[in-house]
């Protein structure tokens, strides 16, 4: 696989394992931009912008406040997870 092929694959991937059962998961794509969540696959919780894990409600029950708290562009989600790890290690 060439570097260009790897980049194309990465752009289309929808889930990446970060650590253990914690994954970066694309939840939707609009106009070529993904909406990502950091999800604990064991507990089915997502990391929100307050650096807290919260249960992910059923799709019909998700309000705008939840989307704002728990959905991010990919770069923001990755940066948040790095911050969360530093915060968790310090505690």
Which pLDDT value is given to residue 89?
72
Cα distance between residue 4 and residue 81, in whole Å: 27
Length, in residues, of the chain: 91
| Residue 50 belongs to domain spanning | 3-90
Q: What is the pTM of this model?
A: 0.79
CA dihedral of 20, 74, 26, 41, whole degrees rounded to 10: 20
- Note whether 69 and 48 are within 8 A (CB): yes
- Note whether 35 and 28 are within 8 A (CB): yes
Query: Would you write out the chain's pLDDT as a tens digit for each of its 91 residues?
Result: 787 776 666 666 788 888 999 999 988 888 878 899 999 999 999 999 999 999 999 989 999 999 999 999 999 999 999 998 887 777 6
For the chain, the domain total comes to 1
């Amino acid at each position: 696989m060439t570097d260009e092929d790897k980049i194309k694959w990465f752009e289309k991937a929808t889930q990446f394992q970060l650590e253990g059962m914690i994954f970066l998961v694309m939840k939707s794509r609009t106009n070529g931009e993904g909406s990502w969540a950091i999800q604990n696959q064991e507990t089915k919780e997502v990391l929100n912008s307050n650096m807290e894990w919260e249960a992910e409600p059923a799709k019909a029950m998700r309000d705008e406040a939840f989307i704002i708290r728990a959905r991010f562009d990919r770069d923001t989600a990755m940066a948040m997870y790095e911050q969360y790890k530093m915060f968790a290690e310090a505690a």
